[in-house]
Amino acid sequence: MNSSSKIIAIKAFSDNYIWAITNNKSLALVDPGDANVCINFIERHQLKLDAILITHHHPDHTGGIEKLRSYCQKLQWPITVYGPKNENIPFNDVKLIEKDTVNLANLNISLQVIDLPGHTAGHIAYFSNKEDEPALFCGDTLFSGGCGRLFEGSPQQMLNSLTKLVNLPESTKVYCAHEYTQANLKFALTVEPENQVLVDYSQRVNELRAKQQATIPTSIKVEKQINPFLRSHEPTVQASAMQFDNNAQASTIDTFTVIRRWKDQF
């Protein structure tokens, strides 16, 4: 992000984060599943909504679009909805695929689009490659300590998608859409109980959650050290997968497939 803009979490439902990108005048919202909490935020901070960025079609990410659009129209604010080309997104004005760029002129921000099939077939992320603080809005693909369930994609697709994210700068802040960290780390510790970085991180997360504080954003650097779904090439994770499933091979894709199945029933 550039120095004049900031990213603020708007809490929605039980554990969703809607991300507000603002410079104290203009506003873009990422995955606004609930219009009411967004309108409260707009009015409290006296902002003007310009853009809505959608990562995938699930209702807890898209449910607020129609009401927010009507709200902007009543106030005669031009509003643009951006979303994945390969999914059915309501009122999607600009349909995006990998390597497209979203220029939010009023916020002086440029976002690169990354295709991330796996959780859903057409899931995308938005990446701001600012040297001082790169930022990633990745919806339900990468979580802290976890990854999204495979509702529409294959393990190979999700592994490929996560590999794209691993290759982003380590300083990239990861703005995912849910506060799932504590539950994810219980599983991660089952897979890699001897991972001291993970043990220490889990303790910090428990302290934050005890105070009802957010654990997001995380970073690519942290996730590479603690997230089993980014570590399926590591011997420790492969050994755990083979212990869970005797038929598993010591390969990255086999390990990833097994630990995703393991997490689904954890």
Q: Check whether 4 has a pLDDT greater than 90.
A: no
Identify whether 229 is part of a domain.
Answer: no
* The pTM of the whole model exceeds 0.95: yes
Mode of pairing for the β-strands spanning 48-53 and 26-30: parallel
Spatial CA neighbour of 62 closest among 123, 145, 115, 152: 123
Q: Check whether 131 has a pLDDT greater than 80.
A: no
Could you tell me the sign of the dihedral formed by the alpha carbons of 171, 109, 117, 31, in that order? positive
As a whole number, mean pLDDT of residues 131-142 equals 93
Range of the domain at 67: 6-180
Q: Check whether 130 has a pLDDT greater than 90.
A: no
Identify whether 193 is part of a domain.
Answer: no
Query: What pLDDT score does 250 carry?
Result: 83
Identify whether 264 is part of a domain.
Answer: no
Q: 77: domain CATH number? A: 3.60.15.10
Report d(CA 95, CA 124) in Å as an integer. 11
Q: How confident is the model at residue 132 (pLDDT cuts 50, 70, 90)?
A: confident
Q: Check whether 92 has a pLDDT greater than 90.
A: yes
Number of domains in the chain: 1
Provide the annotated active-site residues: 56, 58, 60-61, 119, 140, 178
Query: What pLDDT score does 2 carry?
Result: 64
Q: Check whether 1 has a pLDDT greater than 70.
A: no
Identify whether 191 is part of a domain.
Answer: no
Identify whether 187 is part of a domain.
Answer: no
HSE of 111 in the Cβ direction (CA atoms, 13 Å)? 28
DSSP structure class, residue 151: S
Query: What pLDDT score does 133 carry?
Result: 87
The mean-pLDDT minimum among 2-6, 141-145, 168-172 falls in 2-6
Identify whether 89 is part of a domain.
Answer: yes
Identify whether 88 is part of a domain.
Answer: yes
Identify whether 247 is part of a domain.
Answer: no
